[in-house]
Structures are given as structure tokens and as C-alpha cells.
Amino acid sequence: MTRALYPGTFDPIHYGHIDVASRASLIFDEVVVAVYDAPPKKLLFTTEERLALATEAFAHLANVRVTTYTGLTVDCARQLQAQVMIRGLRHVTDFEKEYQVGMANRQMASDIELCCLFCSINYAYVSSTIVKEVASLGGDYSYWTPAHVQQALHHKFGQRTTTPLDSNERDPNLSRRG
């Protein structure tokens, strides 16, 4: 059985993340989405909130589970007995960063492979930072996040909750996977 680790802060999780993990779930026996507990950056959502949002986002995929971790990502991969680390690539700057981090991880854990997946072109420009900024200013970000994430963002920013379209109505391809 091949277990893949997909680590990140997921603050918040969006369709780009979901696309990468969904496609990884078609390649690997099990995908563990690992929510990083203590990144060196300011977060909007707590670890528990990010864990809950990710868990709900992947509830439709039987071979994807969600956990949290602290410390080195390679240590998390070893603890979970993951043979592969998944990273999503959107553009050239992602490649440069992931290459550098991937080489450092390879030096620390040569037994763990790195698998980079390009996200769907539909989400190549989406980042959690963009989602949070647009949400904080009251813009429409419903094409980038599932309904439960939209509700969480509305709550965080003290906005009136509208009735967002269900995730499957926004991106029917996501419901066909897994």
C-alpha cells in the first residue's frame, strides 16, 4: 500500500487544494492531508478550525484522511509511514519554492519521494491569501471555496451569511472523483 502525505496550512482550504488531493487519491492507495499546526505565519483559522474545514472538504473521498502535525514535515511523513509527499504546483514560483524545499527534504529523508501535481488550470491563480483578502473585502469568492468554507469565512469576517451554491454545483468535476 502506498500512502501519500499532502501537507500544508490550508488557511483556508480551497478548490485548488481539493483538486490536488482528489487527483492524488486516484494515484495512491491513501492520501493523508496534514494540516500544519504551527507555521511561522499569521493564520486566520485555528488548527482545529482548519482541521474541521479540511475534513469536511474530503468527506466524499474514502481514501483521504485529515490530521494535524507539528515539527518537520519529513518527521510527520515518517510517523505516518508515508512513502510519498504531495505538493501542488500552480506556476513557476511554486516550482522554484517546491524544488528548494523538496531537495532539503530529500537530504533529510531520501526514502520519501516527492510528487508534484499541477493544479487544474481553473485554480492556477487561487491561493488562500487571495481567498482571505477577497472574503475580507466582501467580494465573491464562491468559485474558489466549498460552501462550508464560505460560511466559515463569513463568520470570521462578521458578514451576513448568504446561501452559497453547494460545492458540487460550483465544480461538478470535484463530485465525480473518488
> Which residues are designated catalytic?
17, 41, 90, 128
Q: What are phi and psi of 101, to 5 degrees?
A: -65, -40
d(CA 3, CA 31): 6
Q: What are phi and psi of 32, to 5 degrees?
A: -105, 115
Nearest to 20 by CA among 133, 126, 152, 103: 126
- CA angle 109/115/120 to nearest 5° reads 150
Residue with cell 508534484: 116
